[in-house]
């Protein structure tokens, strides 16, 4: 042997393990062993190669099992022959030891066999293969899985870079990896795969359909991808945070990310949408005044507030909404963000909406103290010329608002803007007929801003208490949600073919007085209850007109009163099971009723209805808005709904479920002496 080969570091030709001198087994002179190992490891072996004792025993083990060793006669047979195991792969391996822990390399008194799932986790997490039968300390295994402490040990110095795997072991490893990948794919939310989530999943998680989400992605440009998230995943995280009100920890669990990665994803998506998406779908600058008039104004509103005008004005509905926040240790900010109206801290975005429900702009949010009421906010918007709105508006345009904007009437008049606002009681108990009629014209249109606020609050993050460290981003979140609503949600009120006729009818009725009210007040029907007898409706009001629900809906000129009629009717006769009405013998074709207030237990409203020959002629109620003739209040509607429709149906009237039956009532005290129950006696 030459001097160079004397110091040659011999390694096993099979498992690539360095062999001690005492364990070397040469292949010289053993042709059968060399042929067996050549087929076993799919490589050409020479007589100078050496093998370890463990690989050498594979040959003798096969002889004991009686397996035949195929002989290879030529090169062509070698190429056509199927590869035999084991296969040596350049992957990390911990080897195989029984005397020490395969993870921490300590030698405790007790070792346990590492489960298959734990070995798979080691390979997936650290890229280290642990052979079957490897052992470790019992503290490293919990529930068949490796603990986080065990994975934190990392790769020890004893790890080798060659691993010998049989075909069966390799196949089992690949199957385990496939199952692991399928399991993780089914639990992880994957917005990049076309088959991972259905259209309904997209709707439930992000508030958008898949097609709408794809369209939104066309407006996202400045988001960088990374190994942990794609652009679609980044936007989906933000939308899920807003839609489902999930915190960053929960989102990190759902997307297999770290909390700081989720925070960066939300920040990146927010900045990108505010730059590339929101300016094209929200704000006075994104839509022209003509488009608002022609495409986003309901014909009924135009007929009510701009009849006969040569130039059609822009009709905008304004109202503030609330975003609740936490209490603050900054007492100055705490005082200024506390609302005496809601009795809690909040901030107020100002919504500017068309009569069809399209959100023109969202300004603010503002503080919540007395200096930031609705009128103060509107004055600030005009004086600051927010979003250049004064350039957008023209003389004759109309703002439809509620009573909170009363102090801004002067500044609106200075710039030529009309303000339509419901009337005030001014110390009276009931509005006059004229005031009630004009207020009804306004409420017929103004409800869209309340529905637009409700559409914003469907995104639960904005409906709950927002953490104070998120206050700087509330404005962006509200604008993003408003822009999405404009782009992908249908109009709240598109109008119908009957809008023109309804508006003409309402304008005509608004000029009339309430004759029945004058009769009630002149004859003192409400002051002399003795002349009215309480009788059961089914046995007395036999000649009352029979109407369909569509015909009833035409009387209040809206759907809200009809929706409330069932609840009022249920409470009206729930005590004795009979619907009682008031009848006076000397007043034919007039019926009355006492309707319980839904807000105050001690208050009941008297109402009267005049009918004749199958037609409802007039009505009057003692509630605040009960004197109007442009439609009627919910109390009148409930009486009409029951007498003219509900009692004539074949199916019995279904009551409103009483949830109080599932709760305790401190006002309901049972006297044991009156209960009739016998006290237990001792035997």
* 386 has pLDDT over 90: yes
Q: What's the whole-number mean pLDDT along residues 482-506?
A: 90
pLDDT, position 51: 80
* 660 has pLDDT over 60: yes
3-state class (DSSP) for residue 95:
coil
pLDDT, position 184: 63
pLDDT, position 575: 60
Under the banding of pLDDT at 50, 70 and 90, the label for residue 75 is: very low
pLDDT tens digits for 414-445?
Answer: 999 999 999 998 888 899 999 999 999 999 99
Q: What's the whole-number mean pLDDT along residues 377-403?
A: 94
Given a contact cutoff of 8 angstroms between Cβ atoms, the answer to whether 236 and 205 are in contact is yes
Comparing 293 with 44, the larger pLDDT belongs to 293
Among the listed ranges 93-107, 495-509, 523-537, which one has the minimum average pLDDT value? 93-107
Under the banding of pLDDT at 50, 70 and 90, the label for residue 569 is: confident
Q: What's the whole-number mean pLDDT along residues 458-484?
A: 96
* 616 has pLDDT over 60: yes
pLDDT tens digits for 356-375?
Answer: 999 999 999 999 999 999 99
| Of residues 300, 409, 293, the one with CA closest to residue 354 | 293
Query: Which residue spans of the chain are classified as CATH 3.30.420.10?
Result: 289-488
Comparing 35 with 436, the larger pLDDT belongs to 436
Q: What's the whole-number mean pLDDT along residues 93-111?
A: 79
| Of residues 141, 59, 130, the one with CA closest to residue 97 | 130
Under the banding of pLDDT at 50, 70 and 90, the label for residue 92 is: confident
CA dist 419 and 435 (Å) reads 15
Half-sphere exposure of 112 (CA within 13 A, CB side): 14
Give the angle subtended at the CA of 124 by the CAs of 123 and 127, to the nearest 5°: 50
Among the listed ranges 175-184, 296-305, 323-332, which one has the minimum average pLDDT value? 175-184
Token duo for residue 291: 């488009």
Given a contact cutoff of 8 angstroms between Cβ atoms, the answer to whether 352 and 276 are in contact is no
pLDDT, position 574: 63
Comparing 495 with 302, the larger pLDDT belongs to 302
Under the banding of pLDDT at 50, 70 and 90, the label for residue 83 is: very low
Helix 634-644 crosses helix 560-572 at what angle (to 10 degrees)? 70
Q: What's the whole-number mean pLDDT along residues 192-218?
A: 90
pLDDT, position 576: 63
Parallel/antiparallel/unpaired status of strands 418-420 and 604-612? unpaired
pLDDT, position 238: 96
pLDDT, position 673: 52
The tokens 């009931």 sit on which residue?
430
Q: If phi over 0 gives left and psi between -120 and 50 gives alpha, with beta otherwise, what is residue 426? A: left
Comparing 626 with 15, the larger pLDDT belongs to 626
Under the banding of pLDDT at 50, 70 and 90, the label for residue 78 is: very low
Average pLDDT, the chain: 84
* 139 has pLDDT over 80: yes
Q: What is the DSSP string of 548-591?
A: -HHHHHTTTTSSHHHHHHHHHHHHHSTTTS--EEEE-TTSTTEE
pLDDT, position 74: 45
Among the listed ranges 283-287, 312-316, 565-569, 627-631, which one has the minimum average pLDDT value? 565-569
Token duo for residue 189: 């939310």
In Å, what is the CA distance from 489 to each residue of 199, 320, 456? Answer: 16, 21, 11
| Of residues 429, 435, 382, 385, the one with CA closest to residue 409 | 382
Given a contact cutoff of 8 angstroms between Cβ atoms, the answer to whether 164 and 14 are in contact is yes
Which residues, at least 6 apart from 489, have a Cβ–Cβ distance to it below 8 Å? 455
Token duo for residue 557: 């000129």
CA dist 610 and 588 (Å) reads 9
**Architecture in CATH of 289-488:** 2-Layer Sandwich (3.30)
Token duo for residue 265: 């994803």
pLDDT, position 156: 59
pLDDT, position 3: 42
Which residues, at least 6 apart from 181, have a Cβ–Cβ distance to it below 8 Å? none
3-state class (DSSP) for residue 380:
helix
* 5 has pLDDT over 50: no
Among the listed ranges 40-54, 186-200, 368-382, 508-522, which one has the minimum average pLDDT value? 40-54
Given a contact cutoff of 8 angstroms between Cβ atoms, the answer to whether 513 and 307 are in contact is no
If you ran DSSP here, which 8-state letter would residue 306 be given? S
CA dist 377 and 348 (Å) reads 9
Q: Provide, rounded to the nearest whole percent, the portion of the chain with pLDDT above 90.
A: 47
Residue 26's DSSP bridge partners are 50
* 674 has pLDDT over 80: no
pLDDT, position 609: 93
| Of residues 223, 251, 226, the one with CA closest to residue 237 | 251
The tokens 């905008």 sit on which residue?
316
* 72 has pLDDT over 50: no
pLDDT, position 145: 81
CA dist 284 and 495 (Å) reads 24
How many C-beta atoms surround the C-beta of residue 188 within 10 A? 14
pLDDT, position 601: 86
Q: What's the whole-number mean pLDDT along residues 121-138?
A: 82
CA dist 531 and 523 (Å) reads 11
Comparing 546 with 427, the larger pLDDT belongs to 546
Q: What's the whole-number mean pLDDT along residues 517-544?
A: 84
pLDDT, position 280: 95
The tokens 């049989």 sit on which residue?
166
CA dist 421 and 441 (Å) reads 10
pLDDT, position 655: 65
């Amino acid at each position: 042997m030459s001097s160079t080969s004397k110091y040659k570091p011999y390694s096993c030709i099979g498992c690539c393990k360095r062999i001690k001198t005492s364990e070397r087994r040469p292949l010289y002179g053993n042709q059968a062993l060399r042929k067996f190992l050549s087929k076993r490891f799919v490589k050409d072996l020479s007589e100078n190669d050496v093998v370890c004792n463990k690989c050498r025993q594979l040959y003798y083990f096969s002889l004991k099992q009686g397996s035949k060793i195929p002989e290879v006669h030529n090169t062509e047979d070698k190429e056509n022959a199927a590869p035999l195991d084991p296969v040596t792969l350049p992957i990390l391996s911990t080897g195989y030891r029984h005397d020490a822990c395969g993870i921490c390399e300590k030698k405790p008194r007790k070792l346990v066999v590492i489960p298959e799932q734990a070995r798979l986790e080691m390979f997936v997490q650290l890229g280290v293969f642990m052979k079957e039968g490897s052992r470790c300390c019992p503290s490293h295994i919990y529930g068949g899985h490796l603990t986080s402490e065990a994975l934190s040990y990392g790769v020890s110095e004893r790890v080798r870079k060659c691993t010998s795997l049989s075909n069966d072991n390799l196949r089992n490893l690949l199957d385990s990896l496939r199952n692991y990948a399928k399991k993780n794919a089914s639990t992880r939310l994957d917005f990049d795969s076309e088959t991972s989530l259905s259209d309904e999943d997209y709707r439930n998680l992000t508030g958008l359909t898949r097609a709408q989400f794809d369209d939104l992605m066309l407006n996202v440009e400045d988001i960088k991808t990374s190994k942990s998230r794609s652009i679609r995943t980044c936007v989906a995280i933000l939308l899920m945070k807003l839609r489902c009100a999930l915190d960053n920890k929960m989102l990190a669990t759902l997307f297999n990310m770290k909390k700081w990665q989720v925070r960066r994803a939300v920040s990146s998506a927010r900045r990108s949408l505010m730059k590339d998406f929101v300016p094209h779908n929200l704000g006075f600058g994104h839509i022209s005044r003509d488009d608002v008039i022609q495409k986003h104004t309901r014909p009924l509103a135009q007929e009510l507030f701009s009849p006969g005008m040569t130039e059609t004005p822009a009709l905008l509905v304004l109202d503030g909404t609330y975003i609740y926040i936490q209490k603050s240790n900054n007492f100055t900010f705490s005082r200024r963000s506390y609302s005496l109206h809601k009795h809690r801290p909040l901030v107020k975005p100002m919504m500017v909406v068309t009569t069809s429900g399209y959100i023109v702009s969202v300004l603010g949010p503002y503080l919540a103290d007395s200096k930031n009421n609705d009128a103060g906010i509107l004055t600030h918007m005009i004086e600051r010329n927010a979003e250049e709105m004064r350039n957008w508006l023209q003389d004759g345009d109309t703002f439809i608002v509620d009573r909170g904007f009363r102090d801004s009437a002067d500044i609106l008049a200075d710039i030529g803007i009309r303000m339509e606002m419901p009337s005030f009681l001014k110390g009276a108990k009931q509005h006059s007929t004229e005031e009630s009629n004009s207020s009804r014209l306004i409420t017929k249109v103004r409800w869209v801003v309340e529905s637009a606020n409700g559409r914003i609050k469907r995104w639960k993050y904005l409906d709950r208490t927002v953490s104070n460290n998120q206050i700087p981003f509330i404005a962006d979140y509200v604008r993003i949600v408003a822009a999405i609503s404009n782009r992908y949600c249908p109009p709240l009120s598109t109008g119908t073919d009957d809008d023109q006729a309804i508006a003409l009818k309402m304008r005509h009725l608004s000029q009339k007085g309430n004759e029945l009210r004058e009769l009630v007040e002149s004859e003192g029907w409400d002051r002399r209850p003795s002349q009215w007898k309480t009788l059961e409706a089914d046995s007395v009001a036999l000649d009352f007109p029979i109407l369909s629900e569509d015909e009833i809906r035409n009387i209040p000129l809206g759907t809200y009163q009809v929706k409330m009629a069932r609840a009022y009717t249920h409470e009206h006769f729930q005590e004795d099971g009979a619907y009682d009405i008031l009848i006076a013998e000397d007043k034919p074709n007039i019926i009355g009723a006492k309707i319980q207030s839904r807000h105050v237990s001690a208050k009941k409203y008297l109402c009267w209805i005049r009918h004749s020959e199958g037609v409802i002629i007039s009505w009057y109620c003692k509630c605040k808005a009960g004197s109007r003739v442009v439609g009627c209040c919910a109390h009148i509607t409930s009486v009409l709904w029951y007498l003219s429709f509900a009692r004539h149906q074949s199916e019995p009237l279904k009551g409103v479920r009483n949830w109080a039956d599932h709760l305790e009532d401190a006002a309901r005290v049972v006297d044991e002496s009156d209960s009739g129950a016998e006290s237990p006696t001792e035997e």
